[in-house]
Structure 1
Amino acid sequence: MLYDYIVGPFAEFDFMRRALVGVLALGVGAGPIGVLMMLRRMSLAGDAMAHAILPGAAVGFLAAGLNLWAMTIGGMVAGFTVAIGAGAVARATQMKEDAALAAFYLVSLALGVLLVSLRGSNVDLLHVLFGTVLALDDPTLLLIVSIASITLLVLAVLWRPLVMESVDPGFLRSVSRAGAPSHLAFLALVVLNLVGGFHALGTLLAVGMMMLPAIAARFWSRELTTLVWLSVLIACGSGALGLLVSYHSGVPSGPAIILVAGGAYVLSVLFGPVGGLLPRLVPRRHLEA
């Protein structure tokens, strides 16, 4: 019985195994990036950058249809353009960077939907907005796994400056010249992982696998390494459980995965030992001399 519910779908169906590999790769790559974004107070910026990918992907769609590399390159170009453009506007004017990102995000979302609608059908629009995690082919799966591998490699090389740039960028600039390269490398990793998430979950849900596990993990630990491991574990677990929920209930797989991650966040808010609601209600022993 337990086998039929948990192992059976992945053992019997090739598309479920592909989807599982895809969401596990997304969890491994996006989990640590989500933790760094949370440390930088850029949680909402991730959502804005995810939507910023849409116009580039739409241009790729107009040029070559649902072509993997055309949409990937278009999404990466659009993501980098918005990230760098918002930062440039914030530095050249009195506008805060979050407000600049919000403006770019709204324009990008509207422009992307308009471009897809010019040539594609409602099915194509749904594909771009919500992804097709149950229809991942070999090239798309290879792209997602490659992005996760590149992410882990860059994190291994630049972990210390990335963390320092997240916590105290002023100090990093005063003792090293690695500040600007680290920031650019971090933006590149964010865009890459959002592009990978876009192919599986669409532009509207791609950031969910990045931010929800990281935010949920924050209620269980204050130690950075533990946060990263917990974020990856929650992301991968949410992906696998979301696929099972989708398979057994017939609901769309992308929203199911993000809702499971949202459930992990709710449980963390309630029961997490670091700032959770219920542990705060439990009386603590007073310090004794």
Structure 2
Amino acid sequence: MTLHALLVAPFAEFGFMRRALVACVALGVGSGPIGVLLMLRRMSLAGDAMSHAILPGAAVGFLVAGLSAPAMGLGGMAAGLGVAFASTFVSRSTILREDASFASFYLFSLALGVLIVSLRGSNVDLLHVLFGAILAIDAPALVMIAAIASVTALILALVYRPLVVECFDPGFLRAVGGGGSRHHLLFMVLVVANLVAAFQALGTLMAVGLMMLPAAVARLWTASLPMMMAVAAATAALSGFVGLVASYHLNLPSGPAVILTASLFYFLSILFGRGGLAWRALARPSPAA
């Protein structure tokens, strides 16, 4: 098999493969940097909880308009923002920490969403909502994913400094009048929006995959925040390309193949990355004779 037949032919011959690849690249541009900021805030598991929180809204959108990207996207956005704001309110108004609040709302949202889809849809519909169908992405879904990625990149460029400061020292940002709470809410909106975009391709159970795995890979290769964001975006795009090629030639489900590819990059980074096991073993001084 030639290199062209292996790497290029699947995308040259089939439009659905091209759309899936463009979706992965767009998700990398938007979700990669957001994943880095989530990781630095130590909210990685909150991202997973938020990916499930969009399910009830997406399920309601499915009941109203079927497998319509705009309807499910708007419903998921509304549900995700509702859970984000409710979790933040509960954590700041009670003795519960934010992680416990997110976990509680996530379990409620996941169960409610599965119940709604199960009552009115088939098992195929439920699988589509939970696991996505990246090869079935149509033009409206692709436009939504690209729009969310573009808006995310623009907002990050405009409020980069306050978002970074709010990651490391939110008290300082509030003290200097930087609007810490406002920027925190803006960041949560970006998280939900990018999870809604990923939901269109990967479903609720794997939507967070292209957000957090590339971010973890980037952290193991560089300590510079701008470089982390660039490496995370590139890793997500490359995971999409390699995963789609593997799924095409090996007849594998495309969504899991993409996430497993990102996981492979993560495991390789654990071994060989700048902060990985091999690097630490080489950097460790040898015991004195």
TM-score, structure 1 normalization: 0.96
Runs ≥4 residues deviating over 6 A: none
Structure 2 gaps of 5+ residues are none
Where does residue 192 of structure 2 map in the other structure? 191
Cα distance in 1, alignment partners of residues 57 and 285 from structure 2: 57
Where does residue 120 of structure 1 map in the other structure? 121
Where does residue 249 of structure 1 map in the other structure? 250
Q: Encode CA deviations 1:174-220: one digit per residue, 9 max, x unaligned.
A: 11233122111111110100000000000000000000000111111
Where does residue 279 of structure 2 map in the other structure? 279
Amino acid at match of 2:268: L
Cα distance in 2, alignment partners of residues 63 and 4 from structure 1: 42
Where does residue 227 of structure 1 map in the other structure? 228
Q: Encode CA deviations 1:153-176: one digit per residue, 9 max, x unaligned.
A: 000100000000011101111112
Amino acid at match of 1:195: V
Cα distance in 2, alignment partners of residues 89 and 283 from structure 1: 45
Amino acid at match of 2:271: L
Cα distance in 2, alignment partners of residues 28 and 103 from structure 1: 30
Cα distance in 1, alignment partners of residues 41 and 178 from structure 2: 19
Cα distance in 1, alignment partners of residues 274 and 73 from structure 2: 40
- 2:6 aligned with 1:5: yes
Cα distance in 2, alignment partners of residues 186 and 155 from structure 1: 9
Instruction: Please list, as runs of the form range in 1=range in 2, the aligned pairs for 1:35-54 lying within 5 A after superposition.
Output: 35-54=36-55
Cα distance in 2, alignment partners of residues 231 and 64 from structure 1: 34
SS in 2 for 1:78: helix
Where does residue 17 of structure 1 map in the other structure? 18
Amino acid at match of 1:24: V
Q: Encode CA deviations 1:249-280: one digit per residue, 9 max, x unaligned.
A: 11111100000000011001011122x11111
Amino acid at match of 1:232: A
SS in 2 for 1:203: helix
Structure 1 gaps of 5+ residues are none
TM-score, structure 2 normalization: 0.96
SS in 2 for 1:177: coil
Where does residue 211 of structure 2 map in the other structure? 210
Contact 2:166–2:173 under 8 Å retained in 1 = yes
Amino acid at match of 2:195: L
Cα distance in 1, alignment partners of residues 69 and 211 from structure 2: 21
Instruction: Please list, as runs of the form range in 1=range in 2, the aligned pairs for 1:166-177 lying within 5 A after superposition.
Output: 166-177=167-178
Amino acid at match of 1:58: A
Cα distance in 2, alignment partners of residues 138 and 70 from structure 1: 14
SS in 2 for 1:240: helix
Amino acid at match of 1:92: S
Shift of 1:47: 0.2
Where does residue 269 of structure 1 map in the other structure? 270
Amino acid at match of 1:104: F
- Calculate the aligned-residue CA RMSD, in Å: 1.1
Farther-moved stretch of structure 1 (170-179 vs 132-141)? 170-179
Amino acid at match of 1:278: A
SS in 2 for 1:95: coil
Contact 2:27–2:145 under 8 Å retained in 1 = yes
Q: Encode CA deviations 1:56-113: one digit per residue, 9 max, x unaligned.
A: 1111111222122221111011000111111111111111110011111111111101
Cα distance in 1, alignment partners of residues 88 and 143 from structure 2: 32
Cα distance in 1, alignment partners of residues 70 and 239 from structure 2: 28
Shift of 1:282: 1.7
Amino acid at match of 2:87: A
